[in-house]
Chains A and B, each alone.
Chain A
Amino acid sequence: MAFDAQAVSDAVAEGIEKIDKASSLDELKTIKTQFVGSGSVMTQASKAIGSLPADQKKDAGKLMGKLRADFGRAFGTKQEQVRAEEEARELAAQTVDMTLPLSRKPLGARHPIAKVMEDIEDLFVSMGWQVSQGPEVESEWYNFDALNFGPDHPARQMQDTFYVKGNQSKDAAGFVGSNMVMRTQTSSDQVRALISRGVPLYIVSPGRVFRTDELDATHTPVFHQCEALAVDKHLTMADLKGVLDKFAVAMFGPEAKSRLRPSYFPFTEPSAELDLWFPDKKGGPGWIEWGGCGMVNPNVLRSAGIDPDIYTGFAFGMGVERTLLLRHDINDMHDLVEGDVRFSEQFVMGE
Chain B
Amino acid sequence: MPMVDIDWLKDHVEVPDDLTYEQLAKDLVHVGLEEEEIHASQVTGPIVVGYVVDATPEPQHNGKIINWCHVDVGEAYNAIDEQGNNVPRGIVCGAPNMAAGEKVVVTLPGAVLPGDFRIEPRKTYGHVSDGMCASERELGLGDDHNGIILLRHYGFSPKEYEALKPGDDAMHLLHLDQPLLEINITPDRGYAFSYRGVAREYHHSTGAAYTDPVKELAAKAPVTAGLDPRSVTDIEVSIEDDNPIHGVAGCDRYHARVIKGFDPEAHTPNWMRRRLIRAGMRSISLAVDVTNYVMLDLGQPMHAYDLDKIEAPIVVRRARQDEHLVTLDGNDHALNPEDLLITDSPDGKRGSRVLGLAGVMGGLYGEVTAETKNVLLEAAHFDQVSIARSARRHKIPSEASRRFERGVDCKLQPAASQLASELLERYGNGEASQHPTDVNRTGRPKAIAFKASEVARVAGLDTETNTISDILTDIGCSMAGGGNGVFSVTPPTWRPDITEPCDLVEEVARLVGYDEIPSIVPPAPVEGAVGLDADQRHSRQVADELAEYGLVETLSYPFVGDEDFRNFSYDPSEIAKVSVEIANPLAADRPYLRRSLLLTLAQTVQRNLRRGIENIALYEIGHVYLWDPNAPAIPAFEGGKLPTDDQLAALDAGLPDQPKHVAGLLTGMAEQSDWMNAGRAVDWSDAVEAVQRIASRLGATIALEQLAAQDAPGQWHPGRVATVTSEGKAVGLVGELHPHVDEQLGLPEHSAAFELDLDALFATLDAKPVQARPISAFPPVRQDLAFTVPAALPAARLQNAIEQAVGDKLEGITLFDVFTGDQLGEGMKSLAFAVIFRAADRTLDSSDSEALRKAIIESTTPLGAQLRA
B163 within 8 A of A: no
Q: How far is the CA of A308 from the CA of B505 in the complex (A)?
A: 14
> Which of B385, B520, B632 has the most chain A CB atoms inside 10 A of its CB?
B520
- Decide if B636 touches A118 in the complex (CB within 8 Å): no
Q: How far is the CA of A109 from the CA of B549 in the complex (A)?
A: 9
- Decide if B459 touches A237 in the complex (CB within 8 Å): yes
A212-B586 in contact given A100-B675, A166-B631 (Cβ < 8 Å): yes
A139-B521 in contact given A114-B555, A264-B32 (Cβ < 8 Å): no
Stretch of B75-83, B186-194, B368-376 with 4 or more beta carbons under 8 angstroms from chain A: B186-194
Residues of B within 8 A of A149 (CB): 639
A262-B31 in contact given A242-B519, A337-B557, A342-B613 (Cβ < 8 Å): yes
- Decide if B580 touches A237 in the complex (CB within 8 Å): no
A304-B552 in contact given A154-B388, A168-B633 (Cβ < 8 Å): no
Which of A125, A128, A158, A295 sits near B459, CB closer than 8 Å? A295
- Decide if A130 touches B676 in the complex (CB within 8 Å): no
Q: How far is the CA of A140 from the CA of B655 in the complex (A)?
A: 11
Q: How far is the CA of A239 from the CA of B523 in the complex (A)?
A: 9
B863 within 8 A of A: no
Within 8 A of A (CB), among B768-806: none
Question: Distance in Å from the Cβ of B593 to the closest Cβ of chain A?
Answer: 7
B814 within 8 A of A: no
> Which of A111, A154, A179 has the most chain B CB atoms inside 10 A of its CB?
A154
- Decide if B617 touches A302 in the complex (CB within 8 Å): no
Q: How far is the CA of A263 from the CA of B185 in the complex (A)?
A: 9
A152 within 8 A of B: yes
A238-B520 in contact given A141-B639, A341-B613 (Cβ < 8 Å): yes
Q: How far is the CA of A242 from the CA of B641 in the complex (A)?
A: 30
A232 within 8 A of B: yes
B524 within 8 A of A: yes
A200 within 8 A of B: yes
- Decide if A165 touches B583 in the complex (CB within 8 Å): yes
B658 within 8 A of A: yes
- Decide if B502 touches A242 in the complex (CB within 8 Å): no
Question: Distance in Å from the Cβ of B691 to the closest Cβ of chain A?
Answer: 15
B652 within 8 A of A: yes
Residues of B within 8 A of A157 (CB): 388, 392
Majority DSSP secondary structure for residues of A touching B: mixed
- Decide if B608 touches A212 in the complex (CB within 8 Å): no
Within 8 A of A (CB), among B112-146: none
Interface size, chain A (Cβ < 8 Å)? 116
B825 within 8 A of A: no
Majority DSSP secondary structure for residues of B touching A: loop
Question: Distance in Å from the Cβ of A70 to the closest Cβ of chain B?
Answer: 50
Which of B509, B521, B533, B554 sits near A111, CB closer than 8 Å? B554
Residues of A within 8 A of B533 (CB): 130-131
- Decide if A174 touches B581 in the complex (CB within 8 Å): no
A165: nearest chain-B partner, CB-CB:
B581
| Complex interface bits, B387-417 against A, C-beta within 8 A gives 1, otherwise 0 | 0110011000000000001100000000000
- Decide if B640 touches A303 in the complex (CB within 8 Å): yes
A245 within 8 A of B: yes
- Decide if B531 touches A125 in the complex (CB within 8 Å): yes
A335 within 8 A of B: no
A105: nearest chain-B partner, CB-CB:
B550
A185 within 8 A of B: no
- Decide if A236 touches B34 in the complex (CB within 8 Å): no
A270-B459 in contact given A114-B543, A172-B638 (Cβ < 8 Å): yes
Residues of B within 8 A of A168 (CB): 633
Within 8 A of A (CB), among B477-534: 500, 502-503, 505-506, 509-510, 514-515, 517-522, 524-525, 527-533
- Decide if B529 touches A130 in the complex (CB within 8 Å): yes
Stretch of B10-18, B618-626, B743-751 with 4 or more beta carbons under 8 angstroms from chain A: B618-626
- Decide if B658 touches A169 in the complex (CB within 8 Å): no
Question: Distance in Å from the Cβ of B426 to the closest Cβ of chain A?
Answer: 35
- Decide if A109 touches B552 in the complex (CB within 8 Å): yes
B561 within 8 A of A: no
- Decide if B608 touches A341 in the complex (CB within 8 Å): yes
> Which of B187, B540, B618, B638 has the most chain A CB atoms inside 10 A of its CB?
B187
- Decide if B460 touches A239 in the complex (CB within 8 Å): yes
B351 within 8 A of A: no
Q: How far is the CA of A304 from the CA of B642 in the complex (A)?
A: 5
B544 within 8 A of A: yes
- Decide if A141 touches B651 in the complex (CB within 8 Å): yes
Within 8 A of B (CB), among A277-314: 295, 297-300, 302-305, 308, 312
Q: How far is the CA of A273 from the CA of B502 in the complex (A)?
A: 17
- Decide if B604 touches A108 in the complex (CB within 8 Å): no
Which of A135, A152, A272 sits near B514, CB closer than 8 Å? A272
A148 within 8 A of B: yes
Question: Distance in Å from the Cβ of A334 to the closest Cβ of chain B?
Answer: 11
Question: Distance in Å from the Cβ of B586 to the closest Cβ of chain A?
Answer: 6
Question: Distance in Å from the Cβ of B408 to the closest Cβ of chain A?
Answer: 13
Q: How far is the CA of A170 from the CA of B613 in the complex (A)?
A: 49
- Decide if A166 touches B517 in the complex (CB within 8 Å): no
Q: How far is the CA of A212 from the CA of B384 in the complex (A)?
A: 26
Residues of A within 8 A of B385 (CB): 152, 173
> Which of A130, A133, A139 has the most chain B CB atoms inside 10 A of its CB?
A139
Residues of B within 8 A of A118 (CB): 540
A106: nearest chain-B partner, CB-CB:
B550
B729 within 8 A of A: no
- Decide if B639 touches A147 in the complex (CB within 8 Å): yes
Residues of B within 8 A of A341 (CB): 552, 554, 608, 613, 616, 618
A273-B34 in contact given A164-B583, A180-B655, A221-B586 (Cβ < 8 Å): yes
B656: nearest chain-A partner, CB-CB:
A137
> Which of B459, B519, B604, B618 has the most chain A CB atoms inside 10 A of its CB?
B519
What are 14 A-B contacts with C-beta separation under 8 Å? A108-B619, A110-B547, A121-B532, A125-B531, A127-B521, A130-B533, A154-B406, A168-B633, A178-B583, A212-B584, A236-B459, A260-B517, A270-B502, A341-B554
Known pairs A108-B548, A304-B642. 6 more at Cβ < 8 A? A108-B617, A125-B532, A166-B634, A168-B633, A173-B389, A264-B189
Which 3 A-B residue pairs are closest in the complex by CB-CB distance?
A128-B524, A236-B460, A262-B32
